[in-house]
Amino acid sequence: MNDHALCSRVVCSDCGTFDQDIKVGASRQCGVCGSGNLFFELSDILIDTHDIGHPPFPKEFTGKPSALTRVNSALLEFVFLRRVREFFQSHPRKVREAPGATILQIADFLFSPAAVEKVFKQLVADWRLEYCEALRGDRYWKARWICCRYYWAIAKAGSLDKLVSWFDRVLRRI
Amino acid sequence: MAKNTNSFLMPSAKEALILELLNASSGSLFGLELVNTSNGQLKRGTVYVTLQRMEGTGLIASEQERRPDPQIGIPRRKYRITGLGQRTLSAYQAAHRAFAPNLIPGEA
């Protein structure tokens, strides 16, 4: 989704403030509360601006501490975690789609409108609710786990669990 | 062949659990609230499929939540038990008392 014309307005999910048009891919924070959890409105599809796909760690933070640094491991661990946290907080947040947007489009293609309205849209709404709650608490791994959990839930709802359970039985026999 | 409108379909265990939770709440609940209050017996992947089926049979009713303008995001649905659902739940619990008294949760 790189068409600026598709994005009409930006809403902050934390304080509810509206903002003007913004280009897809731009970095933005709410001017009122400073939150990065901004959403585009595109009919009933939310576009999440929080970039969960962060870049790799900086080179100096990869790998285990050396033997010398293990002497002060507790202090170094505190510094390490603090630098990682600062790195995440300073990384500019980019515009991207909200979770479940693509799945909704696929479900709209495959299933009836009633099923999409009462099953898949409700699942995606709950997904986004829990996802945003995790992001507000800066729990990025929790947000990722929520995505995995809802991918599985939507697969079950789409009756794909029979295929997945067969695969699971095969794995258990191995 | 004329459709038998007097037939009674015994609800499944999950449907009965949903009816119990909605009856106990004395109001309406979201699907996610049902999942959280069920102590793991209801799953996110199957609860809305079950709720849609129950709504089709008339055991529950749903409505979109009312949110103040401007609305953002997908509107969620709230579910509440109907009169038919309450009668069905009563019949289910009576049947359990008659044939399997130890299976009804909460009973001493």
pLDDT, tens digit, for every residue of B44-91?
988 998 999 899 889 999 998 877 666 667 888 999 999 999 999 999
Q: Do A122 and B48 touch (CB under 8 A)?
A: yes
CB contact under 8 A, A155 and B31: no
In this prediction, residue A61 has a pLDDT band, given cuts at 50, 70 and 90, of very low
Identify whether the C-beta of residue B76 lies closer than 8 Å to the C-beta of residue B64. yes
User: Of A10, A12, A17, A122, which to mutate for an interface test with B (greatest number of B Cβ within 10 Å)?
Assistant: A122
Mean confidence (pLDDT) of chain B: 82
Q: What pLDDT is attached to residue A101?
A: 85
Instruction: Report which of residues A71 and A136 the model is more confident about.
Output: A136
Positive or negative, the Cα torsion across A103, A104, A107, A108?
A: negative
User: Per DSSP, what are the bridge partners of residue B107?
Assistant: none
Q: Which residues of A touch B77 (CB under 8 A)?
A: 118, 122
The tens digit of pLDDT for each residue in A148-159 reads 999 999 988 887
The answer to whether residue A141 scores a pLDDT higher than 70 is yes
What ipTM was assigned to the predicted interfaces of this complex? 0.81
Q: Report pLDDT for A58.
A: 39
pLDDT of residue A55: 39
Confidence (pLDDT) at A49 = 43
pLDDT at B3: 44
Select from B57, B62, B28 the least CA-distant residue to A118: B62
Angstrom CA distances, A86 to A49, A90, A109, stand at 19, 6, 42
Work out the minimum CA distance from B51 to partner chain A, whole angstroms: 9
Q: Indicate the helix (H) or strand (E) that contains B64.
A: strand B60-64
Q: A107 and A120 in contact (C-beta within 8 Å)?
A: yes
Q: In three state form, how does the secondary structure of A102-166 look?
A: HHHHHHHHHCCHHHHHHHHHHHHHHHHHHHHHHHHCCCHHHHHHHHHHHHHHHHHHCCCHHHHHH
**Mean pLDDT rounded to a whole number for chain A:** 67
* Counts of helices then strands in chain B (DSSP H, E): 4, 3
* pLDDT for res A37: 63
Q: Which residue has the higher pLDDT, A83 or B108?
A: A83
**Share of residues in chain A with pLDDT > 90 (%):** 11
- Please tell me which residue of chain B has the smallest CA distance to A157: B45
pLDDT at residue A74 is higher than 90: no
